[in-house]
Amino acid sequence: MADFVQKTVNKTAVRDLAVPIADVTSFNTLIESVIADNPFGCVGYTGADGQPVAAVIRNREHYTAKVDFIDAVIALE
């Protein structure tokens, strides 16, 4: 996968993907694998109520997609 590219000084980053995500089902599969496999090595903790919180959970979801359209100019002869 590509590296993150910092866009501003806040906690927002853009990732240019080498291969686009094909559809919503593929995207959901990717999210589920991150939750199940914890590839980033996140660490769980104990909440204020004394209950354990898993290292990776689905808390809130908000996704933004930007699409670059490239208009090809076709020369007519």
Per-domain boundaries in the chain: 1-77
Smallest CA-to-CA distance from 31 within 72, 9, 62 is with: 62
b (16+ CB within 10 A) / e for 23-62: eeeeeeeeeeeeeeeeeeeeeeeeeeeeeeeeebeeeeee
Which pLDDT score, from 0 to 100, does residue 20 have? 82
* Mean pLDDT confidence for 6-35: 81
* Mean pLDDT confidence for 2-8: 64
Taking only the tens place, the pLDDT of each residue in 46-67 is 999 999 999 999 888 777 777 7
Which pLDDT score, from 0 to 100, does residue 32 have? 93
CB 55 within 8 A of CB 44: yes
Query: What percent of the chain shows pLDDT beyond 90?
Result: 36
Which pLDDT score, from 0 to 100, does residue 5 have? 67
Look over the chain and give the mean of its residue pLDDT values, rounded to a whole number.
81
